[in-house]
Structure 1
Amino acid sequence: AIKGSTVVGFADLGMEAIYEFEVQDFPVTVAVDSDGNNVHQLALAYWQKRIKDEGLLSG
């Protein structure tokens, strides 16, 4: 559950501002790394290439 929130940037943007949330019992997966890369896209591309290169699905 979200226990609290604080605007940490761009307050003038209202709901588009950057918020910091205080959470409890809230499982989460962060999908963007510190360079702004989408981890889901990177992992998909990595495994598609590896499957193709190594013939992992060849019967």
Structure 2
Amino acid sequence: MALKPGNKAPASGQYGVVGPRGGKINKEVTVVKGEPMPPTQKPRQTYVMNDPSNNKSGKTKN
């Protein structure tokens, strides 16, 4: 699930930047659950979860 800049993060962790055609960009950001995703460097880039946090504060309830 790709997240656009400004969307709230569904879980805490590290998110990688993905280009408009799906290619990975060598940039990661750490975001806390419920915080808005930061702006990207270029238009049409999105975020995908790379590494969820290991504590229980950011995990979604099943």
TM-score, normalized by length of structure 1? 0.20
Q: Which has a greater percent of helix?
A: 1
Q: Please tell me whether Structure 1 or Structure 2 has the larger radius of gyration of its CA atoms.
A: 1
Q: Which has the higher contact order (CA 8 A, sep 6+)?
A: 2
TM-score, normalized by length of structure 2? 0.20
